[in-house]
């Protein structure tokens, strides 16, 4: 297990707070950089409890800014906690099927989109609004997953801006706390049609989206023990051994991800910022500056094969300050208290699965209650994001339906998940739901 100081805040809940007015759909959709909704006063944030809703408003949901969705949607600005225990605010987008909810209330899926970006206009809350500039089109594509596998099942969906107000990509502690507080906020929002903290809730994320998702599985019992989290699914896991991933990608096709991760951490950890200021050469700083302008789809292709780590004085991953930050955000510090489903392509070209193997081994040595680990042989990072959807979807569906997770640890190594009988069934169901949603049908209302 990684030795690091664990920050566990006193248990609080926003359930006793009075509801805030729901503001109407904004007349004009503007990026968060120019939207006052995202900018509460420091005093208001400091006076709130974790998960407390500060503002709420209706929004018109759409993919790519113009494909309108026939579902109800709101944005919640809520208080969360950064990596240093300080209060900050971020936003989650709440998607709810049209039609009456079950008498017992809806189930909740918190889906963490792989934002992997530094500008605020790449945030899911902006991307999912009608009229948004479709700069983060990868985020719009990924939103099809929770749309079909969440709203399409009759569940309420929370899609948090888990990077927080300072766009701290990779800062797993903040990212996870923002995700858990997003669940708290949604469960205390009446239009979400939930049953408070007793609501069966599940978390799901892939690639960059596993930074908050997998870390939240480890800290949920200490940070938000009142939540009824029944399962967590994480694929293409990013936080197993981040130093391996950084070295693997620096100078490679996906070197742009290295710069975004380092700058995201510097946005959260002052000691990391000082390392950049004092030890990065002029060329490295110029390249880093370009990454602050674009979303992940553009950042990934800017200057491929650029060896970013070589532009530091010495090996930056050996600096004590950097090692302390990496230890603070590493997976494996605690054992998840709920069933978890990890999946990772055996030959992932972006995130070597050796780190995930190590995390799973640690969970199993420490007697985690329920761990399922799937390593697909004939897949890599991009294709694995698609081929593994059915397995994660059905696993989460069972957990939300009250089926207990398999006790102990189970590891499988399928040659291809495409040969599994449930795969075709899931693809037909989920693709059909997405097509119906894009055609303007109200999905999930009949579940």
Active site residue ranges: 207, 348, 381
Please name which of 412, 10, 13, 21 lies closest in space to residue 191, comparing C-alpha atoms. Answer: 21
Q: Determine the length of the chain.
A: 447
- 148: its two tokens: 């079909």
> 243 to each of 205, 274, 358, how far by Cα in Å?
21, 19, 13
Query: What token pair was written down for 318?
Result: 């050996």
Q: Are 390 and 426 in contact (CB under 8 A)?
A: yes
**φ, ψ dihedrals at 194, nearest 5°:** -110, 180
What b-and-e string marks burial along 203-232, b requiring 16 or more CB atoms within 10 Å of the CB?
bbbbbbbbbbbbbbbbbbbebbeebbbbbb
């Amino acid at each position: 297990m990684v030795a690091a100081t664990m920050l566990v805040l006193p248990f609080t809940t926003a359930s006793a707070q009075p509801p805030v007015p729901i503001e109407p759909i904004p007349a004009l959709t503007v990026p968060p950089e120019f939207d006052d909704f995202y900018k509460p006063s420091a005093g208001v944030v400091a006076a709130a409890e974790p998960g407390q809703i500060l503002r709420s408003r209706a929004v018109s949901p759409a993919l790519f800014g113009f494909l309108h969705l026939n579902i109800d949607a709101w944005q919640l600005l809520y208080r969360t906690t950064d990596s240093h225990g300080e209060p900050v605010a971020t936003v989650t987008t709440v998607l709810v099927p049209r039609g009456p909810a079950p008498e017992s209330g809806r189930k909740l899926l918190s889906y963490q989109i792989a934002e992997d970006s530094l500008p605020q206009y790449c945030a899911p809350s902006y991307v999912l609004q009608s009229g948004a500039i479709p700069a983060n089109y990868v985020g719009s594509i990924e939103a099809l997953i929770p749309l079909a596998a969440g709203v399409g099942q009759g569940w309420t969906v929370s899609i948090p801006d888990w990077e927080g107000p300072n766009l701290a990509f990779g800062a797993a502690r903040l990212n996870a706390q923002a995700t858990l507080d997003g669940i708290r906020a949604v469960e205390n929002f009446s239009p979400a049609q939930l049953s408070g903290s007793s609501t069966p809730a599940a978390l799901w994320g892939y690639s960059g989206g596993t930074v908050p998702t997998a870390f939240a599985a480890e800290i949920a019992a200490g940070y938000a023990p009142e939540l009824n989290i029944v399962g967590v699914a994480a694929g293409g896991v990013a936080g197993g051994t981040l130093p391996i991933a950084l070295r693997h990608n620096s100078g490679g096709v996906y070197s742009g991800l290295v710069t975004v991760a380092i700058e995201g951490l510097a946005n959260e950890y002052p000691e990391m910022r000082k390392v950049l200021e004092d030890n990065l050469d002029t060329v490295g700083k110029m390249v880093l500056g370009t990454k602050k302008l674009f979303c992940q789809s553009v950042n990934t292709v800017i200057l491929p094969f650029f060896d970013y780590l070589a532009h530091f004085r010495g090996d930056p991953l050996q600096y004590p300050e950097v090692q302390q930050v990496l230890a603070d955000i590493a997976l494996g510090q605690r054992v998840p208290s709920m069933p978890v489903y990890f999946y990772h392509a055996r030959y992932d070209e972006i995130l070597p699965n050796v780190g995930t193997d190590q995390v799973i081994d640690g969970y199993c040595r420490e007697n985690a209650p329920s761990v399922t680990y799937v390593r697909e042989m004939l897949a890599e990072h991009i294709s694995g994001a698609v081929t593994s959807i059915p397995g994660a979807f059905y696993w989460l569906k069972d957990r939300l339906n009250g089926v207990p997770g398999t006790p102990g640890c189970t590891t499988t190594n399928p040659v291809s998940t495409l040969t599994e009988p449930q795969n075709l069934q899931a693809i037909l169901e989920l693709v059909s739901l997405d097509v119906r949603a894009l055609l303007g049908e109200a999905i999930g209302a009949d579940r």
